[in-house]
Amino acid sequence: MEFIDLKAQYRHLKASVDARIQAVLDHGQYILGPEVRELEERLAERTGAKHCITCASGTDALLLALLALEIQPGNEVITAPFTFFATGEMIALAGAVPVFVDIDPATYNIDPAKIEAAITPRTRAIMPVSLYGQPAEMDSINAIADRHKLAVIEDAAQSFGALYKGRHSGNLSTIGCTSFFPSKPLGCYGDGGACFTNDDGLATAIIELRNHGQDRRYHHTRIGINGRMDTIQAAVLLAKLEVFDDELLARNETADRYSALLKGLIETPKIATHSTSAWAQYTIEVDGRGAVEDAMRTAGVPTAVHYPTSLHLQPVFEKLSRAHGWTEGSFPHSERASARVLSLPMHPYQTPADANLVSAALQAALRSNAEPSK
Ligand SMILES: *Cc1c(COP(=O)(O)O)cnc(C)c1O
């Protein structure tokens, strides 16, 4: 069993993916070729955002958003400590200070009720993460940002395809950033990402920043990066987009199947009634995670931990944490989650038989964990 079966997906999509890639090989416009523009149009249309600007990765999307907003050294950006490293990393790389706010343990997303206490005169933006595929509580976050004149950057790397009150994740804030890393809900065959915005000025800034800050060829008005999406990756995404809605349905079916099988055994993931999830991960919490992981592996079921260390406890943020007085215990919900979460195999081509195997392996693992050791 695979944790995410990308080969099963390719077998399903082979004809259209191959044809799309072959078209790029035939026209030879590998950098910013016509597929890139076509993809941006399709993604903007899908999310309802006025602008979609593709880029080389989800990480670059976050950096481009921060650069476009002219986040400066010394500025503070509020985010959750329970996320993939890139969220905090790009805030720091832009020269700003990541300021962590604990999560709501029900959804694993930043707790809006705790944001205002973290705002200072140096705060410029809030960067909520829509973790595991479920949008953060964006209306509350946007209202706080409006009151304090802050920008909001949604890290929608895991939530492309999800809805929040009927609106699309990625198009819920000043700038939304997503990732097309192969294992994300919409993945390419390499690295890729995108920014979404309804602001013309920010869109222009991102378009220029991803291409060395050029407003026209060899005329540089900003310090940017080489952050363009490869045309071949855009071609792959155009083929995958054709089945993306079917895949989202299949992911939801996989999640529903797990939740039905695991009900009563563990707490199953909670999705707010006004949201849908893109189910980047199906993540539960267990006691004695190490032993459960080992037992599952022995039973042939791959699992993963997203993420084992809260960002304020990462070695590189030691100095930052010391300056803010953050220690173990400062973000209890984030730390508890990082010690207990376990993600189960999740992809659109999973069979009901595989879900049964996962569930049986988990039950056995939890049972042997609960027995007193001999
Ligand atoms: C994957 C991910 C990123 C980074 O995306 P890449 O495309 O791998 O650079 C950023 N934030 C979160 C929450 C992610 O899951």
Whether 169 lines ligand 1, by a CB cut-off of 6 Å, is: no
Q: Are 306 and 281 in contact (CB under 8 A)?
A: yes
What's the confidence (pLDDT) of residue 83?
Answer: 98
Is residue 150 classed exposed, middle or buried when 0-12, 13-18 and 19+ CB atoms within 10 A define those classes? buried
Question: For residue 374, is pLDDT > 90?
Answer: no
Strands 97-100 and 51-55: unpaired
207 lines ligand 1 (CB under 6 A): no
Distance CA 249, CA 241 (A): 13
Q: Which position has the token pair 């016509």?
A: 34
* Cβ of 275 less than 6 Å from ligand 1: no
Residue 369: what pLDDT?
A: 83
What is the number of structural domains in the chain? 2
The pLDDT score that the predictor gives to residue 370 is: 79
- Helix (H, G, I), strand (E, B), or coil: what is residue 326? coil
**What angle separates helix 200-209 from helix 58-68, to the nearest 10 degrees?**
120
pLDDT at 81 exceeding the cut of 80:
yes
| Res 108 pLDDT > 60 | yes
Cβ–ligand 1 distance for 178 under 6 Å, the answer: no
Say which of 50, 184, 263, 270 is annotated catalytic: 184
Question: What's the CATH code of the domain at 124?
Answer: 3.40.640.10
Percent of the chain with pLDDT strictly greater than 90 = 98
Does residue 45 belong to any structural domain of this protein?
yes
Note whether 90 and 205 are same-domain residues.
yes
Is pLDDT of 373 > 70? no
CA of 367 to the centre of ligand 1 (A): 34
How far is residue 309 from each of residues 59, 183, 185, measured CA to CA in Å?
19, 21, 23
Do both 129 and 205 map to the same domain? yes
pLDDT tens digits, residue range 259-313?
999 999 999 999 999 999 999 999 999 999 999 999 999 999 999 999 999 999 9
Q: 64 and 170: one domain?
A: yes
Whether residue 170 sits in one domain with residue 25: yes
What type of residue sits at position 104?
A: D
Count CB-CB contacts under 10 A for residue 219: 9
pLDDT digits (tens, 9 = 90+) for 82-98: 999 999 999 999 999 99
Convert the pLDDT of each residue in 126-180 to its tens digit: 999 999 999 999 999 999 999 999 999 999 999 999 999 999 999 999 999 999 9
Q: Of the candidates 207, 241, 275, which is a domain's last residue?
A: 241
Q: For residue 158, give the ligand 1 atom closest to its CA.
A: 15
What pairing do the DSSP bridges indicate for beta strands 123-127 and 167-168? unpaired
Claim to verify: residue 295 and residue 326 sit in the same structural domain: yes
Let me know whether 82 and 175 are in one domain: yes
Q: If phi over 0 gives left and psi between -120 and 50 gives alpha, with beta otherwise, what is residue 48?
A: left
Over range 100-105, report the average pLDDT.
98
334 φ/ψ angles, rounded to the nearest 5 degrees: -65, -45
250 and 172 fall within a common domain: no
Ligand 1 near 84 CB (within 6 A): yes
Residue 368's pLDDT is 87
Task: Give the nearest ligand 1 atom to 193 CA.
Answer: 7
CA dist., res. 246 & res. 251, Å (int): 9
- 108, 131, 155: which to mutate for ligand 1, most atoms within 8 A of CB? 155
- pLDDT (tens digit per residue) in 187-197: 999 999 999 99
For the segment 200-237, what is each residue's pLDDT rounded down to a tens digit?
A: 999 999 999 999 999 999 999 999 999 999 999 999 99
Confirm whether 319 is a catalytic residue. no
| 59 pLDDT higher than 80 | yes
- End residue of a domain, out of 206, 241, 276: 241
Q: Which domain holds residue 348?
A: 244-369
306-334 CB burial, b ≥16 within 10 A, e <16: bbebbbbbbeebeebbeebebeeebbebb
Q: Give pLDDT tens digits for 301-319.
A: 999 999 999 999 999 999 9
Q: What is the 3-state secondary structure (H, E, C) of 328-357?
A: CCCCHHHHHHHHHEEEECCCCCCCHHHHHH
Q: Is pLDDT at 347 greater than 90 in this prediction?
A: yes
Q: Are residues 173 and 311 in the same domain?
A: no
Mean pLDDT of the chain: 97
Residues 29 and 127 occupy one common structural domain: yes
Helices vs. strands in the chain: H and E counts, helices first: 12, 13
16 and 128 housed in the same domain? yes
pLDDT tier, 119 (very low <50, low <70, confident <90, very high otherwise): very high
Q: Is there a single domain that holds both residue 322 and residue 263?
A: yes
